């Protein structure tokens, strides 16, 4: 398993933006064109660029050879490759990509001040009890930890909104402090949460417990250079 993140920069020169725009799929180009906010355009563009960069580096593939598929619920996959799975998420100034040999899920959320209790309907009874046991100082942080854990599980399954968040429970896995587990159709899933920076939570859901210990931060200039050089390994 490998976990990558890249920070969205504010001042991408127009000429560079246009060149990078040409490196993603036509479907993604159309999605970008339909967005009104420049922030949404950048997140979507950088999301697919990061995925293609990671695939290129891990599988030694040229960008022009990378064909991405999407399920009816939007879960991405790599056409023609069965033992390479990945997932994408973005929030605020960060875009993330996780890859593994088995199905994988990822979620990133920016931590904001919210009324946690107003969103308890998305949690199971045990999760609500746990969140209520946390000190008021730590409650928002724990809320986002559990929220991203649950979202990463749904994204691993690729079921989208068809699986209600309160229909399953995320619970601690044995003696591990940051590792959790849940079940679906008799299968066990394992989850781990990371602190991307002080204002962001990131969680991964896998079918095993061999989680990466670190997040690899990708430099925007390195990513751009790879594409401008033809996306060739």
pLDDT tens-digit series, residues 130-182? 898 988 888 899 999 999 999 999 999 998 878 889 889 998 887 655 678 89
Q: What pLDDT shows up at residue 233?
A: 61
Lookup: tokens for 68: 């991405």
Q: Which residue spans of the chain are classified as CATH 3.90.470.20?
A: 1-104+207-233
Q: What is the second-level CATH architecture of the domain 111-199?
A: Alpha-Beta Complex (3.90)
Q: What architecture (CATH level 2) is domain 1-104+207-233?
A: Alpha-Beta Complex (3.90)
* pTM of the model as a whole: 0.91
Q: Are 57 and 233 in contact (CB under 8 A)?
A: yes
Mean pLDDT for the stretch of residues 29-37: 93
Q: What whole-number distance in Å separates Cα of residue 191 and Cα of residue 171?
A: 9
CA–CA distance, 193 with 177 (Å, rounded to integer):
10
pLDDT score recorded for residue 177: 56
pLDDT at 159 (0 to 100): 87
């Amino acid at each position: 398993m490998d976990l990558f993140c890249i920070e969205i920069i504010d001042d991408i020169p127009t000429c560079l933006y246009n060149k990078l725009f040409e490196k993603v799929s036509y479907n993604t180009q159309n999605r970008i064109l339909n967005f009104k906010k420049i922030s949404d355009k950048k997140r979507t563009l950088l999301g697919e660029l990061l995925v293609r960069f990671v695939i290129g580096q891990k599988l030694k593939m040229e960008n022009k050879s990378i064909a991405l598929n999407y399920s009816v619920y939007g879960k991405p996959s790599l056409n023609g490759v069965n033992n390479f799975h990945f997932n994408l998420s973005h929030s605020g100034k960060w875009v993330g990509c996780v890859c593994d040999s088995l199905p994988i899920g990822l979620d990133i959320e920016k931590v904001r001040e919210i009324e946690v209790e107003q969103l308890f309907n998305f949690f199971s009874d045990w999760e609500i009890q746990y969140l209520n046991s946390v000190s008021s100082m730590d409650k928002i942080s724990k809320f986002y930890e559990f929220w991203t854990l649950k979202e990463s599980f749904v994204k691993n399954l690729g079921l989208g909104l068809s699986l209600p968040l309160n229909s399953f429970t995320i619970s601690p896995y044995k003696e591990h402090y940051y590792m959790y587990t849940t079940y679906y159709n008799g299968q066990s899933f394992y989850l781990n949460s990371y602190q991307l920076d002080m204002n962001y939570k990131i969680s991964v859901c896998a079918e095993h417990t061999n989680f990466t210990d670190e997040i690899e931060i990708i430099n925007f200039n390195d990513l751009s250079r790879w594409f401008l050089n033809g996306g060739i390994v």
